[in-house]
Amino acid sequence: MIKTIKNWALVSLTVMAGFSLNVQAAGGYNIELEKVHNNVRDTESLQRGAVHFVNYCMACHSAGLMRYNRVARDLGWTEEEVVSLLSYDQRLPVDYMTTWMEDGVSEALFGIKAPDLSVMTRAKGNDYIYTFIRGYYQQEDGSWNNKVLEGTSMPNVLEGVRRHATEAEFDQFTTDLVNFMDYVGEPSKVQRWDLGWKVIAFLFVLLILTYLLKREYWRDVK
């Protein structure tokens, strides 16, 4: 019995170690990623990020798992506000945040469909997105390349913003943008955190009660 338990423990440890190594390998880009200090509890930052996202990313990308009315509810907007702020083409609050671009255009222009960004922060990490959108550099012939995704077919869409902003403003702009994408990746994150503490606190109280109960039951058994 003990031996079986030991074996199982060993197997799970090995699997876990392998898993964490794998995750590290997947995160192992050949450049140092910049750290983004975003905060999904900061509603104003999320609101700014949502507007940036719609203005600068949705021309090509979708956040096709997210509906306007959910954004309204979580970011403190009315349904009328969210539609007028985040949609240019008379969409309804129940609509998904899909790209303005028509089917096939991205393939024709860039040779590839711009990926859906709904869960991109969860797939690649906030720091990756942050570094990627800030990672464009000009090559000797004047064309743009990206230090995170060399030879990417995504144009340097934030160059105009960067040129007209101070460094601090651009940091804020890109942080807000990643913050919104982080929120879209897991809209209930804040609720999960808040509920998590309550569950742990409840289990702790339950542990004490159960222990007292156990002592009571065993009091006369010696």
Please give the annotated binding residues for heme c, written as ranges: 57, 60-61, 154
Question: Within its chain, how far is the Cα of 202 from the centroid?
Answer: 29
Torsion 185-34-100-49 (CA) sign: positive
Window of 6-14, 53-61, 137-145, 186-194 that interacts with ligand HEC by CB under 6 A: 53-61
CB nearer to ligand HEC: give 14 or 55. 55
By beta-carbon proximity to ligand HEC, the closer residue of 56 and 96 is 56
Q: How far is the CB of 123 from ligand HEC (least distance, A)?
A: 9
C-beta of 35 vs 219, nearer to ligand HEC: 35
Residues binding ligand HEC: number (CB under 6 A)? 24
Q: Report whether 134 contacts 174 (CB < 8 A).
A: yes
**Residue 88 vs 193, nearer CB to ligand HEC:** 88
Euclidean distance between CA atoms 131 and 27, whole angstroms = 13
Bridge partners of 24, per DSSP, are none
Judged by CB under 6 A, which stretch of 73-81, 87-95, 113-121, 207-215 contacts ligand HEC? 113-121
The nearer residue to ligand HEC, 23 or 201, going by C-beta atoms, is 23
Q: How wide is the angle at C-alpha 155 spanned by C-alphas 150 and 160, nearest 5°?
A: 120
- CA neighbor of 68 nearest in space, from 43, 38, 98: 98
**Coil/strand/helix, residue 38:** coil
Q: Is 46 in the site for ligand HEC (CB under 6 A)?
A: no
Q: How far apart are CA 54 and CA 88, in angstroms?
A: 9
Contact 47, 77 (CB under 8 A): yes
Which residues are annotated binding-site positions? 57, 60-61, 154
Binding letters toward ligand HEC, positions 125-144, x by CB under 6 A: ----x--xx-----------
* Binding-site string for ligand HEC from residue 161 to residue 190, where x marks contact by CB under 6 A and - marks none: ----------------x-------------
Contact pick of 82, 83, 154, 184 for ligand HEC (by CB under 6 A): 154
- Residues 85/57, Cβ–Cβ less than 8 Å: no
Rule CB under 6 A: is residue 64 a binding residue for ligand HEC? no
Q: Do residues 182 and 42 touch, judged by C-beta distance below 8 A?
A: no
Q: Does 97 bind ligand HEC (CB under 6 A)?
A: no
Joined together, the tokens standing for residue 30 give: 């050949």
First-to-final CA distance of the chain: 28
Q: Residues interacting with ligand HEC, by CB under 6 A?
A: 56-57, 59-61, 106, 110, 112, 114-115, 117, 120, 124, 129, 132-133, 149, 152-155, 157-158, 177
